[in-house]
Structure 1
Amino acid sequence: MAKSRQSVKTSTKSEETPISEVWLEYKKTGTEELRNRLMEHYLPLVKYNAERIYAKLPDEVELDDLMSAGIFGLMDAIDAFDLNRGVKFETYCATRIRGAILDELRSMDWVPRLVRSRSSQVEQARRSLQMELGRKPTDEEICAKLGVDKDEYEKIRKDAGAVGVVSLSRKWYETDSNKDVREIDVLKDAKQVNPFKAVQKRDLKELITKGLSRAERLIVILYYYEEMTMKEIGVTLDLSESRVSQMHSSILARLKAQLQHRGEDLQQEAV
């Protein structure tokens, strides 16, 4: 009985230990008990990311499935995290959690062919109307073009956003330590689902980063779109901060030269 009371007392003291000390001890010992405590502490991050992705998906997908996949991503992040890199774990693990969730969605292959087809029809109708009207069409005009009511149109838009989520799981870049960086990891989450704006945003990024390597594209997008620091980008890509800065300067010089060259071409064509 005395042994039981001692165990409870030890557990209570352990729970009061600052999370920074738990990290230090875990990296020294690697015990399962400390790992579980870290898992419990950061579990809300899994729920947060799972719910953000779940909100963009059709009803057929279960939130619990996304949570389970995200937990595995959190486990990998805890094991791989380097305390000496000077980056918050919350920032570091978001990539792993979202990547694990999207990998699960890809393996499930839940997006039906009809959803892909109808989302494509919506985009075609929007572009066709914009050319005919000379302006951005309203939702009502798109509904009339497709021959569907407003409720059905909203469902198609939601499912179209889900198709976009799955496409974002495409691998963009593999770091020197074999860590995959996927497209969703470099795109900012939107508070509201708007597949049309997502397409426009992606097209703009492709225009700006055309001709760059995958690593260079990531640096541009992470720095200017995600507003990450050079140090945080280095952690994400497994590069030193100085190397990221060097590549960034080189990218800017080449982009400036390309823009000047294109400007000269346009002037010649105008003549």
Structure 2
Amino acid sequence: MYTAKGTLDRDAQLQRYSPLVVRLAHHLMARLPASVQIDDLIQVGMIGLNEALSRFEPTQGVQFETFASQRIRGAMLDELRDGDWLSRSSRKQQKDIEAAVQRLEQRLQRVPRESEIAHELGLSLAEYQESLTRVRGTQLVYLEDLAGAGEDDQFLDRYLPADDSANPQTMLSDQRMRTALIEGINKLPEREQYVMSMYYEHDMNLKEIAAVLGVTESRVSQLHSQSIARLRARLREH
């Protein structure tokens, strides 16, 4: 898209690719606590898109959408890295849920129900579900789990290290861990399996998954957090 003077029409390009920014923001939101505002992510993402338009070189042999996606997501992560967006209380809640799941699985020798996890934590079902909403920022593997990173490290720095050999993605390539992960996903309750499949395999956001399942976005977020807690509890054994 060019202007009458033959220069790139930046406004037209920003408008054309703004849906990409929105899609990436919504997809990232499932991993963030409720305190993060989607509008803030979109605003930062638009800055990343503008930077991508300035730096893109067609001769590099990369499609613009691929190049822009990296810039947009990078801008969002940089913004999150600069803020303390996962509080210590949320981290503690997350670990408490994982520990409760692990205890119940060992005691019951099966996947515990949501109500059983709530009871183990001494919470009502509604209180437990609210906790799941608050710890929405759960990730599958942290460096603190596998490489001994300190508690005081920033959250994003723990799973986006400079050393590729310590990257969680590299660690997940270990066959023993991959096998445990596959087994864990297969043992998730059916609805949670659907959520994980739609989110990670089909790149659907919370709103899209909610429409398929006929539930609210908040409920999908809870199911996602609970699935990750179950998987992390299982991976702790490997």
Is this a same-fold pair by TM over 0.5? Answer: yes
- Residue 129 of structure 1 deviates from its aligned partner by 0.6
Q: Are the structure 2 counterparts of residues 110 and 168 from structure 1 closer, same or farther at C-alpha, using a change threshold of 3 Å?
A: closer
What value does the CA root-mean-square deviation take over the aligned residues? 3.7
Q: Are the structure 2 counterparts of residues 103 and 155 from structure 1 closer, same or farther at C-alpha, using a change threshold of 3 Å?
A: farther
Question: 2:42 maps to what in 1?
Answer: 67
Q: Which amino acid aligns with 2:52?
A: A
Q: Which amino acid aligns with 1:62?
A: Q
Q: Are the structure 2 counterparts of residues 106 and 66 from structure 1 closer, same or farther at C-alpha, using a change threshold of 3 Å?
A: same
Deviations 1:181-203 (A, max 9, x none): 997xxx945655423544648x9
Contact preservation (8 Å) 1:56, 1:159? no
Contact preservation (8 Å) 1:54, 1:63? yes
Structure of larger gyration radius: 1
Q: What is the DSSP-based 3-state SS (H/G/I as helix, E as strand, rest coil) of the residue aligned with 2:103? A: helix
TM-score (norm 2): 0.58
1:105 aligns with 2:80: yes
1:140 aligns with 2:115: yes
Question: 2:24 maps to what in 1?
Answer: 49
Higher relative contact order (CA 8 A, sep 6+): 2
- Residue 92 of structure 1 deviates from its aligned partner by 2.5
- Residue 136 of structure 1 deviates from its aligned partner by 1.2
Q: Are the structure 2 counterparts of residues 77 and 172 from structure 1 closer, same or farther at C-alpha, using a change threshold of 3 Å?
A: farther
Q: Which runs of 5+ in 2 are unaligned?
A: 141-153, 170-198, 206-219
Q: Which runs of 5+ in 1 are unaligned?
A: 1-18, 176-180, 208-271
Contact preservation (8 Å) 1:99, 1:182? no
Question: 1:195 maps to what in 2?
Answer: 225
TM-score (norm 1): 0.52
Q: Distance in 1 between matches of 2:42 and 2:79?
A: 10
Query: What percent identity do the matched residue pairs reach?
Result: 31
Q: Distance in 2 between matches of 1:118 and 1:91?
A: 36
Contact preservation (8 Å) 1:46, 1:67? yes
Q: Which amino acid aligns with 2:35?
A: E
Contact preservation (8 Å) 1:111, 1:163? no
1:152 aligns with 2:141: no
Q: Which amino acid aligns with 2:105?
A: Q
Q: Are the structure 2 counterparts of residues 95 and 167 from structure 1 closer, same or farther at C-alpha, using a change threshold of 3 Å?
A: farther
Give the length in aligned residue pairs.
171
**Structure 1 residues 110-189: aligned runs within 5 Å:** 110-164=85-139, 167=155, 170-173=159-162, 188=200, 189=203
